[in-house]
Structure 1
Amino acid sequence: MLLVEDDEELADLLTETLSCEGFLVDRAADGQRGLHLGLTRSYDVLVVDRMLPALDGLDLVARLRSRAVPTRALMLTALGGVGDRIAGLDAGADDYLGKPFDLDELSARVRALCRRGPDATTVLRIGTGRLDLTSHDAVLDDGTRVALSAREFELLRVLAARPSTVHSRSELRRRVFDEAAATSLVDTYVYYLRRKLGRSVIRTVHGLGYRLGAL
C-alpha cells in the first residue's frame, strides 16, 4: 500500500500499525512523490493526507483518477466538515476519515477497501468537470449532466484516460470508429462534443491531432 503523509511522527505510527496488519508500506512525504509512486507502481490501497506540501491530497487523488488509476483511496484530514468530505469524495477518494482518528478504525477501513477490490474508476476528470463512466454523462462544474451518444462518450473517454497525450486522427478513428470509417469522422465528433460541452473540452494540436481540454 502507499501512505502519503508529511507528518513524520504520524507516518511512522501509521506505518507500524499497517505493517502489523500485513501490509508492505511505501511512503511519500509530499504530493508530488505520492503522485509519481501512484502512477508508476501498483498498490492495493492508498492512504492520503489531504494537507500535503507540493501537491495537496485532493489534487493528488484527482490526478490519479484522471489517468484511470483505479486503486482504492482513503483520505485523512483535519478538515472534517460535510463540505470537506464531499470535496474529498468528489475528487475520487473512496473513503474519508477525520483527524484525530482511532487506529483500529483506520485499519478496519483499509481492510474494507481492500475487500472491495480495485474496480475500475467510475469517473475521469476533465478540468473542473468529469466524465461519468457509469452513466456515460459529462458532468459540468456546476453539477449539470450532459448526455452523450455512444461514440461521443467513447471519444471523450479515450482522450480523458490519457489527458496529456496528443492522439492522431488515425489513432482515434481506429480506437473509436470502424476502421473503414473516414478519418474526417473524428473531426465531426469533435465538433459534436464542442457544441455540447464548449470549445475548450478538446484541444486541437495543429499538424498532430487532438488532446483533452477542460470543462
Structure 2
Amino acid sequence: MDEGSSNSPNRLLLVEDDRALAEMLANTFTADRYTVDVAHDGQHGLHLGLSQPYQVIMVDRRLPAIDGLELVLRLRRRAVSSRILMLTALGETADRIDGLDAGADDYLTKPFEVAELLARVRALGRRLFDEAQDIPLGRGRLDLRQRDVRLPDGGRVDLTGREFALIRSLAIRPRTVYSRGQLLSLAFPDATGESIVDTYVHYLRRKLGNGVVRTVHGWGYQVGAL
C-alpha cells in the first residue's frame, strides 16, 4: 500500500485523509485482489495519479493541500483516463453535480456500505476495460488485446513485452512528459538503471519511426505519432 507498488491491472488509488478509514478500505480492497496505493492529501494524490497507471481512483471531497474537486479537475486536464469515484460526506444534489461535472465517473456518499463500494469499483473497472481495448497512436492504434500496433494502412507491428509496456505507459497519457525514472518504474519495475528506457525508445523508433516517441530535452519522453 505505497507509491509505485505494482504494475497490476487491478491497481487502485485511494485519496483519503481519514487514516483509519483509508487503512480499512486499503485492507478491504487488498483482500479483494487489488493493488492499493494510498495518499492522505490532494497533492500526493495528484502526484500518484499523474505518475502511475490506475484502473480506478477513489477521491474524498475534502482533502488537505488540494481539494478533491480540484484534484479531479487537474487529473482530467492532464488526460488521465482512470475511472474516478468520489467518496464523500457531501451528498447534496449540487455536490453530486459538481463532482460529475469535474470529471468523476461515480459519486458515493458517506456513510456507505462496503459491499456497495466494492461493487461500484468493480463496475467502473469493467467499464474501463470494455471501452479501452486500444489507444490512439498518431493515425494508428495500440491494440491492448493483441499487444501490437495497428498502422494507418491496416498493417500490424509486433512488439516485445517490454516495448509494449513502454509505449503503453506513454500512450495512455498522451499529454504527459515522463522522466526516465518514471518510465523505469512504470514499464520496467524489475530492471535497474535508467539506460534501459533509452534502449527501448530506440527499439520502438526503429520499428515504428522516429516520431513515435518525442524527446523533451531536459526532462524525458512523451508519446509522439507514427
Report the TM range for the smaller structure's normalisation.
0.5 to 0.7
Displacement of 1:65 in angstroms is 0.3
SS in structure 2 of the partner of residue 86 of structure 1 = helix
Aligned-partner Cα distance in 1 for 2:105–2:62: 17
2:64 matched to which residue of 1?
53
The residue number in structure 2 matching 1:15 is 26
**Using the alignment, how far apart are the partners of 1:16 and 1:72 within structure 2?**
20
Q: Contact 1:66/1:163 (CA < 8 Å) preserved in 2?
A: no
Contact persistence 1:15–1:25 (CA under 8 A): yes
**4+ residue segments displaced more than 3 Å:** 161-164
SS of residue paired to 1:117:
helix
What aligned pairs does 1:69-108 form with structure 2 within 5 A after superposition? 69-108=80-119
TM-score normalised by the chain length of structure 1: 0.55
SS of corresponding position for 1:73 = strand
How far is 1:106 from its partner? 0.4
Mind listing any 5+ residue stretches in structure 1 that lack a counterpart? 121-160, 165-215
Pair 1:39-2:50 in alignment: yes
Other structure's SS at 2:30 match: helix
Q: 1:19 to 1:61 in 2, by over 3 A?
A: same
User: Could you list the runs of 5+ residues in structure 2 that have no partner in the other structure?
Assistant: 1-11, 133-173, 178-226
Residue in structure 2 matched with residue 64 of structure 1 by the alignment: 75
Query: Partner letter of residue 2 of structure 1?
Result: L
Distance 1:115 1:163, change over 3 A: closer
Query: d(CA) in 2 for partners of 1:20 and 1:104?
Result: 13
Amino acid at match of 1:79: L
Could you tell me how far apart the structure 1 residues matched to 2:109 and 2:16 are? 14
**Alignment partner of 2:35: what SS?**
coil
Deviation at 1:163, TM superposition (A): 10
Using the TM superposition, give the Cα deviation of residue 16 of structure 1 relative to its aligned residue in structure 2, in angstroms.
1.1
**Number of equivalences:** 124
Residues 74 and 93 in structure 1, CA contact (< 8 A), matched pair in contact too: yes
Length-normalised TM-score, structure 2 = 0.53
CA distance in 1, matches of 2:119, 2:57: 14
CA–CA separation in structure 1 for the residues paired with 2:97 and 2:31: 31
**What is the deviation of 1:82?**
0.3
Which structure 2 residues correspond to residues 103-114 of structure 1 after superposition, within 5 A? 103-114=114-125
| 1:159-201 CA-partner distances (Å, limit 9, x unpaired) | xx8599xxxxxxxxxxxxxxxxxxxxxxxxxxxxxxxxxxxxx
Counterpart-to-counterpart distance in 1, 2:28 and 2:91: 23
**Corresponding position: 1:25 with 2:36:** yes
Cα distance between partner residues in 1 of 2:69 and 2:32: 26
Greater Rg over alpha carbons, structure: 1
RMSD: 1.8
Partner of 1:187: none
| Mapped partners of 1:163, 1:105: distance in 2 | 34
Instruction: State percent identity of aligned pairs.
Output: 62
Q: Given residue 42 of structure 2, which amino acid in structure 1 is its aligned partner?
A: G
Give me the whole-angstrom Cα distance separating, in 2, the residues matched to 1:91 and 1:108: 23
Give yes or no for contact 1:66–1:162 (8 Å, CA) kept in 2.
no
Q: 1:34 is matched by which residue type in structure 2? A: G
